[in-house]
Structure 1
C-alpha cells in the first residue's frame, strides 16, 4: 500500500460532474483549498493485499450477521437505544430475513497488518458514486493497464435482480433536507442500477410520501401504492417521525432498502457486541458500552453519530473533541489507534459489501484524527 502523486486530468471537474459527482463542490466545506475529489494523489495496492482485505471484509460481514442474531436472541435492544415498541418489528424483520442490498465498512489499514473495523455504515452509506463510477473511469483514463478493487456496479445490478420484490415500480426517496445534492445523486445512481436490472422505478421525496389510512399503505403523489422503497433516510429518524409506527409495523407489506433489522448494524453499539462475541479478533478494536475500562487510549463515539460529530479522543497526551449534537442515545468506548500517516494525510478505507459479499473500495483522507465532512476522496489502483 503506497500513496502516490499524479497529474490531474485536464478538465477533471467537468469529467467527474458528467459521471454523477455533481456535489463535489456543495458537499465540501467552502473554506477548504483541497477539493473533495482529489485525483492528484492515489493509493496503490498489490493484488495480494486486496485479496486479503476482501477476505477480511467477508469475515467481518459474517460476524456482524451473527451479532444481529445474538442481539435479537438476548433482547438487547436497550443497548442500541431502540424504542421498546419497535423491538418486536426489528426482530420480525430479521426472522423474515427481509432482503438487504449494500453497506460500507470503515477500516483502519496501513498495509502492514490486519484491517481494524472502525464502524459499519449499513443503513445509509454514501460515497457510492465516487467509488463505483468516478474512480473506475479515472483508472481507465490514467492507469488503463492496472486493475481496481471495484465490482460495485455489477454486483448492485445483480443484487436488484435477486430481490423478491412485489409488483409495481420501486420508489427511490431522498429528503428535501439534503442541501448538497449528494443524496439525490446517490439515489439516482442506485435507481439507475435498478433500472439496468430490469426494474421500473420512480423518484420521490420522502416528504411527498403519503399515508392511505383506508388501505393502510404508503402511497406516492399519484396515489400509487409503494411496495418497494429505497431510501437514504436513517431508520432512527424514521422511527422518531409521526408516521414512524406505520413504517415500522408495515414492514411485512413492502420491501424497504435497507430493511429495519439494519438498525442493529448501523448502530455503533455493534462494536461492543462484536468484541464481546469475538474478543481479541485481529480485525476488531476493544469496545465497551459501560465505559473505557482499562483502555489507555480510547475514542467515545455516539451510538447514532454521523460524519465524525460529537466524538472525544482520550489519550495519555490529552483530549480532543469534535463538535456535534449527538450522544443523547449513549456512547460506545472503542480502543483508539490513530489512522496511519501517509505524507501527513490519514486514509480510511471504505470497503463495500453488496448482498453478502465484499464488492469494492473507496478511500477518504483527512489531515486530522477523525474523518468528517472535510475529508477528501482519493482513487486507488491495483498494480499489475
Structure 2
C-alpha cells in the first residue's frame, strides 16, 4: 500500500520519528531505495531478536514491531492489513502463550486506547491491502497514531506521532474515528484485552452458504460470441460451436455462489498467496527441503536469483479449491502457466448475457481489468512475445492474453511453436520477422523446458554458464534457448517452479499446521492419512494426470493416467469435490499480482478435474436470494 508520494519525501529507511517505547518509524519511499544497499528481497526483511517483523518499512511491520517491543507479543502473519481485524489472538514470544484479541467496529461503545491497532479497510486511499496504525494517545476529540508507508516525511520536533484522527461520540454513546484522508475507510480497532464487552460478535455463517447451487437457463441462441474477435473465434473453433459445455445435457447449466462464500474465496486467495510465497522463501533457504523438488542442480542458483530479483513479477496464477459446507480447502496453486483466463474473464459473462441470466453478478467480471492493470505495471520496454504450443486450446488462451497486453499499451506478438525462429549476430533468438525476443509470456510450463534439458542430456551447468555469451549457434533455436537466457524477461518468473511444484504442499503443512484452508500433506504416507483417506500426487504434474484417490478402507477410488508416473510423489488428505446434480465441481480463483481477481468453476462427472473438464458459468448472488432457492 502506498499513497500519493509526499511533496518532499525522506529517502527509504530514513528516520521519521520515535513512537512510545522509543520505537523508530522509518520512511518507506520505495522510489528512493538504494539498490546496491538492498539488492534483493532478503534485504527487505526485518527481524528483531530473531523474530520476523515484516517487510521494511510496511505498515504491518511497524504494528508487529511496536507490539513486540512494548508488549512482548505479536500477531499472526496475514495477507492484507485489513485481515488483522479478523484475528482473535496474539502470541507471547517468550513462552508461546495465546492472549485474546478483540475487534471493535468503528462506532463501538468501547473507544480505542493506547496500544490498540486502528484498521482501515481496502479501497479508497488504501486500495487492495487496507492499512494499520498504532494508537499512541487518545483525547476527547482525537486519536493520535504512529504509522509507516503513508506520508514519508520527518515529524515536526514538537510531535511524537504520525497523524491525528478526529474522534467524536454518537448519540447512543459510540465512538467514531474519522480518517483525515477523504477516501480512507476505517473498519475499527483491535485491542488485546480479557474483556469482550462491546466487541464484534462473530457469528459463524450458515454452512449452507458454502454449498454451490446448480440452476438452468432457458435455451440460448445458437450464436452468442463475437467471432470478429480473434480470441472468441478461436474459442468457438475449439469448442466446435458457441458453447461452454461439451456435453449437450449441460449446455444450459450454470452455478450460483453466495456472497459470503465469494468473500471467503477472496480472503483465502489473498491469504494463501502470501503463505505460498513464504513457503517458497523457506524452500530456497533450506537446501535439504529444496532437494525434494527434483530440480536440476545447475538451475538452482538461477532460481534463487529469480526469487531475489523478481519476487513481485508474477502476473497471475490459479488456486484450485474444493468448497462444501465442511469448509474451503485448497488442492494446489497453479502459479506457472495456468489456464482458463478467457473462460473466467470473458466467456462465462457472455454466456450469461446470451442466456438471459441476470441474477447476481459475473464471477469473473474483474479479471480482465486486473490483468490490464498488472501488465501496465510491468513496464515492458519492448515487444512482448507470447510463446505457445501448437494447440487449439492454447490458441484462444494466447489470443485473450494478447488482447489484455495490448489494452495495457504494450505491443504484442504470438509465436506458435518454434518453427521460423532464428539467431541474430549477438546470439539472441529472433522471431520470424527478425525481431529479438527479450520479453516473454508463455503458455509453455517451465517444466517443459526442464524436460528438454533432461531429454537432450544437456550439461546444465555448462549450458547455463555459456548461454548468455554472444556466439553463433549451429542448431535451430530451442525453447531453452529463449526461456533460460538470463537477459530474457519471462512471465511467469523462474521461481514459480517452486510455488507450482506439489512438493510445496507438505512444506506449507509444516509451516502452517492445521490451517483451515490447507489439507494435511506429507512426503511419506502417515497413519493419519491412511485412516482418513488420501490422494497420491506427482510433485510435477498437469491436468489431473497420474493421481490416485484412496478411500478410508484403503480402496482405490480413482486413478488417472498421464506422463508423470516417473516423478516423486506427495500424499495429501482426501477431500472430495462435491457432487452437485451429477457433476463434481471445483472452485478456481485467479490471483493477479498476488491478489484475488476472479473466480470460476470447473466440472466433471469424475472425482478429478482434467484438461477436458468443462468450465460452466458462475454467478454471485446475495445470501438471502441464494438460500431462498436452495
Aligned pairs for 1:232-247 within 5 A: 232-241=443-452, 243=478, 246-247=481-482
Q: 1:15 aligns with which of 187, 200, 225?
A: 225
Q: Shift of residue 227 of structure 1?
A: 1.5
Q: What do you get for the CA RMSD once the two structures are aligned?
A: 2.3
The count of corresponding residues between Structure 1 and Structure 2 is 372
Q: 1:225-250: CA deviations, max 9, x gaps?
A: 11211111110111232556644652
Determine the structure 2 residue equivalent to 1:94.
307
Matches of 1:231 and 1:33, distance apart in 2 = 26
1:255 and 2:489 correspond: yes
TM-score by length of 1: 0.90
Matches of 1:340 and 1:310, distance apart in 2 = 21
SS in 1 for 2:500: coil
Q: Which has the higher contact order (CA 8 A, sep 6+)?
A: 1
For the 8 Å contact 2:361–2:621, the answer to whether it is kept is yes
For the 8 Å contact 1:89–1:248, the answer to whether it is kept is no
Q: 1:278-297: CA deviations, max 9, x gaps?
A: 11000000111123443121
SS in 2 for 1:207: coil
SS in 2 for 1:8: coil
Q: 1:52-88: CA deviations, max 9, x gaps?
A: 2101111011101111101111123321111101111
Q: 2:513 aligns with which of 276, 279, 289?
A: 279
TM-score by length of 2: 0.56
Aligned pairs for 1:107-186 within 5 A: 107-110=321-324, 112-141=325-354, 142-144=356-358, 146-150=360-364, 151-166=366-381, 168-176=382-390, 178=391, 181-186=392-397
SS in 2 for 1:77: helix
1:318 and 2:533 correspond: no
SS in 2 for 1:86: helix
Matches of 1:334 and 1:59, distance apart in 2 = 20
Matches of 1:80 and 1:210, distance apart in 2 = 32
SS in 1 for 2:615: strand
Matches of 2:304 and 2:527, distance apart in 1 = 31
Query: Could you say which structure has the larger radius of gyration?
Result: 2
Q: Structure 2: which 5+ residue stretches go unaligned?
A: 1-211, 454-477, 623-630
Q: 1:245-269: CA deviations, max 9, x gaps?
A: 6446523x12111110111122111
For the 8 Å contact 1:149–1:359, the answer to whether it is kept is no
For the 8 Å contact 1:218–1:226, the answer to whether it is kept is yes
For the 8 Å contact 2:246–2:614, the answer to whether it is kept is no
Determine the structure 1 residue equivalent to 2:214.
3
Matches of 2:515 and 2:335, distance apart in 1 = 21
Between 1:192-201 and 1:231-240, the stretch displaced more is: 231-240
Q: 2:277 aligns with which of 36, 59, 65?
A: 65
Aligned pairs for 1:188-267 within 5 A: 188-208=399-419, 210=421, 212=423, 214-241=425-452, 243=478, 246-247=481-482, 249-251=484-486, 253-267=487-501
